[in-house]
Copies of this chain bind each other. A is one copy, B any other.
Amino acid sequence: MAKTRVGIVNVTGYVGAELARILLRHPAVEIVSATGRSEAGKNVGSVFPHLAPVDLIIQHELGDVDLAFSALPHRASAAAVLPLLKKGVRVIDTSADFRLKDATEYQRWYEHAHPDPEALSAAAYGLPELHRQEIQAARLVANPGCYPTCTILGLAPALKNGLIEGHIVVDSKSGVSGAGRTLKLESHFSEVNENLGAYSLRGHRHLPEILQELNGVSAKRPVSLTFVPHLIPMTRGMLSSCYATLKPGKTETEVKALYADFYRDEPFVKIVDRPPQTKHTLGSNLCLIYPTVDTRTGTLVVLSCLDNLVKGAAGQAVQNMNLMLGIPESTGIDMLPLYP
């Protein structure tokens, strides 16, 4: 069977490199083109020693492909993606440019007008657990952010089933690779190592995505939610600790049963029976969820964790690709977590 010819726009960031790593071992595709902003002209395998087998010169413009991944930052990504779509290439965009359905919201959070508001409504939000059918048919998939993937998966069963009421607190923690490969003091080793802090207290750009999707799934809306991200001294891994008042009369047993039911046939979301650790997902496409109840105060606590570069980015993008190609959803992404 002929392999699908795929390309990666901006292979030189962490998400782009992770896409290359996964796609290189994927049995149904062939990476035929890759672009980069700073390293054009060099071989992928010389820029990234772990990708030594990738014999591909980094280009300024993507060559001829059947399907493209964009791993550019927002704004630059839309500029690269829109022409590809016009040429008939199916695209999975890992940036934020096509995640929000509402162009006004986009402008509010990203501080410039969206270049093509119509594309927003045509794009599928690439969270297979909520939008599998749309993704299968989509020309453009907006791959979710890492915090949204982790948080939405953690809260969707509770909201859909009306298990909670009132305000929700989401305290998220992320490894540093989530901040990307671009140099900044916040990612400088001696600043981050042996350190811990919250950031984006005035509002993180992943918040509107979380609200959009939770409002979409919730039995009651609008959803009210405070989201505070924290930076953790580790490379990969993300945990969202979610808190909300359990609706009176609901029990932990009921909660656990509804969560298990919600994800019963999902290949990558697992309800676990003890608090999950990010290391249990390292390098895998898994999202582990642990719902529990603080019975003393009637509070639902949901812990949700994943590898921010896999299920939180590149792995989920390949999961979406598998859906778009109509091949088994786990193809090429059934890696077991690396432990210890």
Contacts and interface: CB of A to CB of B under 8 A. Distances in A.
Interface stretch (A55-63, A197-205, A317-325): A197-205
Interface string A66-100: 00000000000000000000000000000000000
Contacts of A21: 336, 338-339
Contact of A336 (B50, B181, B288): B50
A194 B226 contact: no
A14 B337 CA distance: 14
A155 interface: no
A40 interface: no
A311 interface: no
Contact of A237 (B175, B177, B196, B338): B196
A326 interface: no
Contacts of A234: 193-196, 233
Contact of A50 (B235, B280, B334): B280
A199 B230 CA distance: 18
Contacts of A185: 181, 183
A199 B303 CA distance: 11
A32 interface: no
A260 interface: no
A295 to B, nearest CB: 9
Interface in A225-268: 225-226, 228, 230, 232-237, 239, 241, 243, 245
A183 B183 contact: yes
B197 A276 contact: yes
Contacts of A203: 296
Contact of A224 (B175, B282, B297, B338): B297
Given A49-B276, A49-B277, A301-B201, A192 B195 contact: no
Nearest to A182: B188
A305 B195 CA distance: 11
A289 to B, nearest CB: 12
Contact of A339 (B48, B225, B305): B48
A279 B245 CA distance: 33
A188 B189 contact: yes
Contact of A193 (B51, B189, B270, B283): B189
Given A194-B194, A233-B232, A50 B188 contact: no
Interface stretch (A1-9, A110-118, A124-132, A166-174): A166-174
A232 B232 contact: yes
A98 B87 CA distance: 62
Interface of A: 14, 17-18, 21, 24-25, 48-53, 167, 169, 171, 173, 175-177, 181, 183-185, 187-199, 201, 203, 224-226, 228, 230, 232-237, 239, 241, 243, 245, 270, 272, 275-280, 282-284, 288, 292, 294, 296-297, 299, 301, 303, 305, 334-340
10 contacts: A167-B299, A169-B243, A171-B171, A189-B235, A194-B234, A196-B234, A199-B275, A201-B301, A232-B233, A338-B338
Closest 3 CB pairs of A and B: A197-B277, A50-B337, A190-B340
